[in-house]
A and B are shown apart, each in its own frame.
Chain A
């Protein structure tokens, strides 16, 4: 048995470890330096090339274009959410025919580019002019805006159907069985027990889908809808001023970042009972 007979005197703290200049520190400075250079260069370019005349001429147009973008995205998201419900129902039903149809629909719209779908609706369906005139629907398919709305709705419905289906399937079976044991009707069990839990899971992918739609909606500019991108292209074609694209980039970035952060805080707030 040994024991300490006298107190060990206090010692000086070890010398602070020398931070060696490593490759990653060099890479960090370099990478950051490139960003600073790019941002300063862009800021200088935008400042030196700023013209009040162009700003007042095209600024309001771009803001109204932003309105068109948001309106288009919001409408198609809501309509898509509604249309995704029967798709999910068909996809999860026991009938194989219904399931196959829903699967084919989802596969088609998730497997092809949005822009190809837009062409299919706008140019493809638009070629049946006489038919649509006969059934009084030509006003719809004549307008690029409505065609974009239709294509976006169908597209986002397919994605939202997959999100919702995944979320519903992620709710444990025991929940359904517990509802059966309590004698709840199927609809009631679904609406009050399964769906709230599923939507909680689906919250994050829904947020991603909104952002994807906002970004994806830029392609309507190609079929002559004057959304933010369309107005930007118009302004660029008039002025050949590259600044227009940079302004649009700033606007898109602000929208997406605000939405992303807002959605994150909503998500945190709603799922706070799930955190440990």
Chain B
């Protein structure tokens, strides 16, 4: 009996290992194509990167001696965490907004519990609860199917889930008020010309919804960007953690903590530029009046 269990555990193990190897191989193939291009145009450590131009041979240079490349790596981790969290949070937030204005009482209550919970908890606590709690849950689950090894959750995934939960709770509020700003007549007009429910949603409501919700979503994106800094507390080597390590090693704390702040400012500046571009683009359809 004991033997059986062990065998299943091992076979699933090898199965996952194979899949993992496949995914890994795929990514490394993509990476080998993209890497030369990306490393050349990298704004931090590329040919004309900030650190490669200003760093010289000092502690900010991009080689083995300096911290430029580590910090640049952290910068991309922060950026990719935020970018990966955004679609997750938007999708959950959209569903929540739909649930909040549904005619089914249970659905509304459930969505309200969700938003109350994740708006009320500190982001850091949510992160810890997800990080440690998920580990405990998975450990128990794996134990029940006969796998008894230590399970460690990837801190990137944990950060994505936790920040996505918080983001979606706020996003639901923004989308809900945007939904309320769309007149009932828009739905009725959609049905009147024979569109189905999903077609009305996609072709009539969504474009207007996006335009109304965009400023609110822009604010939420900025908050999301700042929340990603918290994942350094569970060990993800993001901007803050890399600069903190650099500060500890080199004893130039003010330089490196200052660089962390400046990098976050750069992200904020970049996203405000992108958002204003998107906003002018969505406003085109309103036409000249």
Contact = CB atoms under 8 A, between A and B. Distances in A.
B104 A24 contact: yes
B261 A112 contact: yes
Contact of B113 (A35, A108, A120, A229): A35
Interface in A200-222: 214-219, 221-222
Interface of B: 99, 102-111, 113-114, 116-117, 119-125, 128-129, 132-133, 136, 222, 226-230, 232-233, 239-240, 244, 247, 251-254, 257-258, 260-261, 264-265, 268-269
Interface in A238-255: 242, 245-246, 248-249, 252-253
B264 to A, nearest CB: 4
Interface stretch (A25-33, A167-175, A188-196): A25-33
Interface stretch (A60-68, A121-129, A263-271): A121-129
A134 to B, nearest CB: 17
Contact of A31 (B107, B121, B124, B260): B107
A119 interface: yes
Contacts of B226: 112-114
Contact of A222 (B233, B239, B269): B233
Given A24-B107, A28-B106, A115 B122 contact: no
A242 B107 contact: no
A246 B128 CA distance: 10
Given A28-B104, A123-B253, A257-B120, A229 B244 contact: no
A127 B120 CA distance: 35
25 contacts: A25-B106, A27-B104, A27-B107, A28-B106, A32-B106, A32-B110, A35-B114, A112-B264, A112-B265, A113-B240, A115-B232, A116-B240, A116-B260, A116-B261, A120-B258, A120-B261, A128-B254, A219-B124, A229-B124, A229-B125, A233-B128, A245-B132, A252-B122, A252-B125, A257-B120
A256 interface: yes
Give the secondary structure class of B's interface. Answer: helix
Nearest to B129: A245
A76 interface: no
A145 to B, nearest CB: 17
A31 B258 contact: no
A124 B129 contact: no
Interface residues of A, number: 49
Question: Most chain-A CB neighbours within 10 Å: which of B120, B129, B252?
Answer: B120
A125 B110 CA distance: 46
Given A35-B113, A123-B257, A28 B107 contact: yes
Nearest to B132: A242
Given A24-B102, A119-B240, A123-B257, A215 B122 contact: yes
Given A124-B258, A245-B125, A252-B120, A113 B229 contact: yes
B124 A113 contact: no
Contacts, number: 144
Contacts of A14: none
Contacts of A156: none
A117 interface: yes
B218 to A, nearest CB: 13
Nearest to B131: A245
Contacts of A119: 240, 244, 257, 260
Contacts of B247: 123-124, 127
A254 B139 CA distance: 30
Nearest to B113: A35
Contacts of A242: 132-133, 136
A9 interface: no
Contacts of A15: none
A125 B254 contact: yes
Given A32-B106, A127-B247, A229-B122, 14 more contacts: A25-B104, A25-B106, A27-B104, A28-B107, A32-B110, A111-B265, A112-B268, A115-B229, A115-B230, A124-B253, A217-B122, A229-B124, A256-B121, A257-B120
Contacts of A32: 106-107, 109-110
Interface in A67-120: 107-108, 111-117, 119-120
Contacts of A126: 253
B251 to A, nearest CB: 7
Nearest to A256: B120
A108 B226 CA distance: 12
Nearest to A25: B104
Nearest to B247: A123
B229 A116 contact: yes
Contact of A115 (B104, B240, B253): B240
Interface in A128-187: 128
Question: Most chain-A CB neighbours within 10 Å: which of B110, B239, B269?
Answer: B110
A128 B113 CA distance: 47
Contacts of B128: 233, 245
